[in-house]
Amino acid sequence: MRCTSSSSFLQSALFSLSPPWLGILVASGVLLVAPTQAGEPISHEVFKSSSGEVETTILPEGTLEVELAAGAKGSPGAIIQPGTAESWDFSEYSRIEAVIQNTGDHSVPVSLRVDNKGHWKEAPWSNESIRLDPGQTGTVVVFFGYSHGMKPSFALDRSKVTQLLIFAPGGEQSRRFLVKSISAEGEPGETPEEWKNQSSLVPEGGILLGPGAPVESSRQLSSFNGAGVTATESGDRLQIQFTGESQHVSFRPLPGKWDLRAANRLAVEVINTGTGTAWPGIRIESPGGATAIASSKAPLPAGEKTVIIVPFTAAAPWLVDLSGTSGTEKQPDESGTNWVSKEATAITFLSGRKEGIQAFEVIKMEAIAPPAVFPNWIGNRPPVEGDWVQTLSEEFDATVLDESIWNPAAVNHWDKGTGFSRDNVIVADGVARLRFEHRTSRHNDEPDGEEKNYTTGFLDTFGKWTQRYGYFEARMKLPDAPGLWPAFWMMPDRGPATAPRWKREQTTNGGMEFDIMEYLSGWGPYRYNVAFHWDGYGKGHLHAGTSGIYFQTDEEGFLTAGLLWLPGKAVYYCNGVEVGRWESDRISSVPSILMFTHVSGGWDNEPLDNARLPCDFVIDYVRCWQRRDLE
């Protein structure tokens, strides 16, 4: 017997049973239900709390509530076991899915772990996590034999699953979430990549809702805490009603997830159909996190229409704070965003008022990517006041590379299958192009250089130009072929007295790697990464970063990225807007070089597609300034 429903605990297996009776047992490898009195604390052999700091309760509607006490240690949660059986047999399935809702007041990462019997040092489990903002609902998916971003891990025996764990890290604040469903899904042998491809929906013309995009109400709509949502008679609009605060409704893709990589914002057209004002909030969900909540600038009067723009950009710049006991940067609800545009799981509408009835109709939802308007200071000066002098103005106006500043050759530490060639640094028409192509070459054009199947361009200023502190900016157009990894970054250079090169560039002893713009083309054209790396690249390696830098390009398709580097302070800018900051005595104090790389790969990319090559990383200009008192 197969079960694919996710609207309750394996609803198709409930038969005549319904809440308040709920539990889990095994029959023919499928999770089924068994009687358990709703509302009672769970203390039998099926559900258990991992510690006394966790309270687990079945609610009348048939969901499992998990509450972590304030001050809980470690990663407490709920343990789900196969009753009197020794294990579950999931041989006919590829994964376990759990739908979780954060009912607490703080953002929380929730993990689902699927266990085999074995010693903990062997990590005999598969494990995945999802971060949920308050009120957010999401699905955590665990493929058997994969963990931590669906990467191959312990070879889990699907026929001998001993327990499921749903847990969250403890902390100073209490945390609460609901387990709305758990289901075994997928055919045996299905891989995470196949599942991602099958479940990814690119909206035609960017339209998620509207003419030609009808709604399947029973599968796409859900409401919470008394809110109401239905499709109109035409089937391509939504009617929503809120009667109080803390209510929300969700509109989900069918099937899987929306792939919104080709956009950088969502335009939602609404009309107030009620008799009073309406002020809905809107956010987009993803497994990693949600966008910030967007709303109209003022309450919408009865009968009036407006378009609410939900930007993908973070509501506040990403901040690095290593002062906590965890030694990690601040959580996404405080700064930055963990929203993932290629994995949108729902559009959520929230009540923006504490009282009164709000009624409105959603006419259209469209993913868009309009060009940006940049502030006038970009390209002309640093973003802050001061006595500044320009130290570099590379406009690439010549027809050959200026090798008094730039080196087109170096060791390739990042992409073992690609060689560097001067021929792939093309200076013409006022830009430099680092061309990545499927062409066999000798690395660095050396006759005895290692032969490579791919060839690309490279630029750095090692041994020719360095600067300590200042403002560093480049205008760039990113490649659109999958699998590419261009970057604009800086590395220490202590000068020839500290030879050889690896010693000159060490990120220890005050040195640091600055990743000003690091792009994985599999993310789509409107998202990149910024980061800091220090204390070497071995066991002592430390780093902080975010891949949630969403942006717009200008009308020509260019973005502008910059770094303001001052004693004890580093601030990243995108298109003239601050997107990341770290203030610390550990900020680099070592003169550094500029680097532009265009290799393949990266930690979260897609495979190369030779049919989309060659492809260029275009650099329009590089401009740097120094404050006179820091010269």
Query: Residue 12: its pLDDT value, please?
Result: 27
CATH of the domain at 464: 2.60.120.200
Res. 498: pLDDT tops 90: no
Determine the Cα–Cα distance for residues 211 and 347; give it in Å rounded to an integer.
18
Number of domains in the chain: 3
Q: Name which residue leads in pLDDT, 255 or 506.
A: 506
Q: What is the mean pLDDT of residues 365-382?
A: 96
Query: Residue 323: its pLDDT value, please?
Result: 63
Q: Name which residue leads in pLDDT, 48 or 510.
A: 510
Is the residue at 627 inside a domain?
Answer: no
- Are 120 and 259 in a shared domain? no
Is the residue at 179 inside a domain?
Answer: yes
Is the residue at 374 inside a domain?
Answer: no
- Are 70 and 218 in a shared domain? no
Query: Residue 313: its pLDDT value, please?
Result: 96
Nearest CA-CA partner of 489 in 512, 470, 523, 521? 512
Is the residue at 600 inside a domain?
Answer: yes
Query: Residue 46: its pLDDT value, please?
Result: 60
- Are 406 and 542 in a shared domain? yes
Res. 72: pLDDT tops 90: no
Confidence category of residue 321, pLDDT binned at 50, 70, 90: confident
DSSP for 517-545 reads EE--GGG-TTEEEEEEEES-SSTT-EEEE
pLDDT in tens, 383-430: 999 999 999 999 999 999 999 999 999 999 998 899 999 999 999 999
Confidence category of residue 179, pLDDT binned at 50, 70, 90: confident
- Are 238 and 194 in a shared domain? no
Helix (H) or strand (E) holding 364: strand 358-368
CATH of the domain at 150: 2.60.120.430
Is the residue at 4 inside a domain?
Answer: no
- Are 72 and 147 in a shared domain? yes
Determine the Cα–Cα distance for residues 125 and 464; give it in Å rounded to an integer.
51
Query: Residue 62: its pLDDT value, please?
Result: 62
Res. 2: pLDDT tops 70: no
Res. 376: pLDDT tops 50: yes
Provide the residue type at 325 as one letter: T
Query: Residue 625: its pLDDT value, please?
Result: 98
Res. 577: pLDDT tops 90: yes
522: left (phi over 0), alpha (psi -120 to 50) or beta: alpha
Q: For all residues of the chain together, what is the average pLDDT?
A: 87
The last residue of one of the domains, among 368, 401, 416, is 368
Six-digit token pair at 64? 């499992």
- Are 191 and 65 in a shared domain? yes
- The single-letter DSSP state of residue 106 is S
Is the residue at 2 inside a domain?
Answer: no
Percentage of residues of the chain with pLDDT beyond 90? 63
- Are 182 and 207 in a shared domain? no
Query: Residue 61: its pLDDT value, please?
Result: 61
Query: Residue 19: its pLDDT value, please?
Result: 31
- Are 83 and 35 in a shared domain? yes
Query: Residue 447: its pLDDT value, please?
Result: 94
Q: Report CA-CA distances (Å) from 566 to 36, 167, 207, 467, 469.
A: 62, 41, 45, 11, 5
Six-digit token pair at 619? 């650099």
pLDDT in tens, 332-347: 446 899 999 999 999 9
Res. 15: pLDDT tops 60: no
pLDDT in tens, 529-543: 999 999 999 999 999
Residues in the chain: 631
Confidence category of residue 131, pLDDT binned at 50, 70, 90: confident
- Are 503 and 356 in a shared domain? no
- Are 532 and 589 in a shared domain? yes
Is the residue at 42 inside a domain?
Answer: yes
Query: Residue 23: its pLDDT value, please?
Result: 36
Determine the Cα–Cα distance for residues 154 and 97; give it in Å rounded to an integer.
18
DSSP for 3-40 reads ----SSTTGGG-TT--TTB---EEETTEEE----BTTS
Confidence category of residue 354, pLDDT binned at 50, 70, 90: low
Range of the domain at 588: 392-622
- Are 282 and 418 in a shared domain? no
Give the contacts of 218 (CB within 8 A, at least 6 positions apart). none
Q: Name which residue leads in pLDDT, 433 or 325.
A: 433
The last residue of one of the domains, among 172, 198, 224, is 198
Confidence category of residue 11, pLDDT binned at 50, 70, 90: very low
Q: Name which residue leads in pLDDT, 82 or 409.
A: 409
Determine the Cα–Cα distance for residues 443 and 148; give it in Å rounded to an integer.
35
CATH of the domain at 284: 2.60.120.260
Is the residue at 232 inside a domain?
Answer: yes
- Are 119 and 228 in a shared domain? no
The last residue of one of the domains, among 182, 198, 214, is 198
